[in-house]
Amino acid sequence: MSTCSESSCPFAFTDESEKIQNYGCLPTPMEIINMRVKHNKTWACHSNPKIPCVGALNYLSELGLDNKVVDPVLITDEDNWGLYK
């Protein structure tokens, strides 16, 4: 099994999620926050890409940032999410 085929939410803050981020399979939590703050893009849940990542929305809220979805087109791990870092 390839490391990138494993799944773990970037907002789980676990060893597994950090490993997957370090391999470049998923963005880091701060990259996801920047997507939202700088580009109005919302990260999708990797388990169900039709809904926003609840971890990201909760983290935005914890930081005192607006956590409403602005652009209904969610960014997934299949997209070129590097454009929105």
Q: Identify the bridge partners of residue 69 per DSSP, sorted by sequence position.
A: none
What is the reported pLDDT for 1?
A: 41
**The predicted structure's pLDDT at residue 45:** 92
Q: In 3D, which of 27, 61, 30, 21 has the Cα closest to residue 44?
A: 27
The two tokens of residue 32 are 């996801």
pLDDT attached to residue 24: 80
pTM (2 d.p.): 0.84
Q: From first to last of its 85 residues, what are the pLDDT tens digits of the chain?
A: 445 655 678 888 888 888 888 888 789 999 999 999 999 999 999 889 999 999 999 999 999 999 999 999 999 988 998 888 7
